[in-house]
Amino acid sequence: MLLKPVRELKSYNLGKELNVLIEAKAPGKLYIAGEYAVVEPGYPSIIVALNQFVRVSIKESSSYGKIVSQQYQEDSVFWRRQGDQMILDNRDNTFNYIISAISLAEEYAQQLGKKMAVYDLFVNSELDSPSGRKYGLGSSAAVTVATIKAVCQFYELPMTKAILFKLAAIAHLSVQGNGSLGDIAASVYGGWIEYRSFDREWLQAARNTANLKTILEQPWPLLKIRQLTPPDNLKLMIGWTGSPASTSHLVDKVAYQKSTNEMNYQDFLDASKQCLEKLISGFETQSLSLIQAGIKENRTILNNLASFTKVAIETPILKKMCDIAVAHNASAKTSGAGGGDCGIVIISNKEDVSTLLTEWKSSGITELPMKVHEINDIKA
Ligand code: PMV
Ligand code: MG
């Protein structure tokens, strides 16, 4: 629908005072006559405006600016001010990941001698709630992986999990610019994985030096992806806070703090590594109690990181979620960057979780009924 930029300003005080709300609305329209002819210069038509509007409001912000559409919240754009310039931050906009994925897959297809074609690409995500709110379940990674899979299939390219991971990692990194790419690994390999991220500076240098096909075929420094098998009695539960968090911004904030807290940061890294090694051995020995102890310890380690970086990882509602679960014989922690989104619970499948769930519900926490998914349609 084409919209006339009719603006009705209710108040106008931008730049002076915070929290001043400016609202504008513009109506939709309906052609009555003269369609198509009107495309040609000078040809008449009749059009009406309708009492259905798009409304836009603006409120001054002290840090990042956001551009959010109620209907397309996952495509929100963040921006910041640099002098007179508006610097866009498109890392949370799904379309950038799709375009980047297509471009990578096509670069690979061309190097394999394929002839380029034109196509339509449709995306439908189940990784956001029906109301459009983001669960934080890695929709940007999944859309990147799915797009590369589709385009590579379209061009009939040979595919392995390792190649798919590498293509998707390059595509995702070129949009988000930070992050571990662990979400890409999970989306490619499926099931439970151990993931160690590769040297991003090496990849940057490699991209400037070698061709894509060569880079995909060689081992990537420090990268490790390995499938893990959880013990049979392990049950995973997901608690959703209902409030979205931006991984890229949280990761930026921690990165910003780490140079002024070098020692604490190094201690955090060492403690996390040790804790994770114990956790992984819990999978190797099929020990639920070792895994639960590891989850508990990792929660403490992350809360310590939160306190010296002053980044809100375990928000009050996430704390509530964890505390309720812990009171019911479970181990629990924030998931991913925290700051909202989801938390996870590891509990024995012998435990009765009905009161845990009732308490979550009365605290505004929703259990997401998703299950772990194995991937068998691509070669390792
Ligand atoms: O919040 P999530 O599910 O997007 O996870 C982020 C995990 C971080 O380690 C904080 C960042 C990353 O890219 O690995
Ligand atoms: Mg998150």
Q: What is the pTM of this model?
A: 0.84
Distance CA 326, CA 319 (A): 10
Which of 128, 173, 251, 301 is the pocket-test mutation for ligand 1 (most atoms within 8 Å of CB)? Answer: 251
pLDDT digits (tens, 9 = 90+) for 51-77: 787 787 777 787 778 788 877 766 778
Mean pLDDT of 209-216: 98
Residue 8 has pLDDT above 50, yes or no: no
pLDDT for 89-102, tens place per residue? 777 788 899 999 99
CA 48-50-56 angle, to 5 degrees, is 125
Query: What is the residue-wise DSSP string for 229-273?
Result: ---TTEEEEEEE-S----HHHHHHHHHHHHGGGHHHHHHHHHHHH
Q: Which residues line ligand 1 (CB under 6 A)?
A: 136, 138, 179-180, 182-183, 247, 251, 335-337, 341
- Amino acid (one-letter) located at 186: A
Are 167 and 191 contacting, i.e. CB atoms less than 8 angstroms apart? no
Stretch (H or E) spanning 30: strand 21-33
What is the spatial distance between Cα 94 and Cα 123, in angstroms, rounded to a whole number? 10
The mean pLDDT of the chain is 88
Ligand 2 mean position, distance from CA 339 (Å): 7
Query: Cβ distance 268 to 297 under 8 Å?
Result: no
Q: Name the 3-class secondary structure at 46.
A: strand
Neighbouring C-beta atoms of residue 30, cutoff 10 Å: 12
Tell me what pLDDT residue 14 has. 37
CA distance 350 to 355: 14
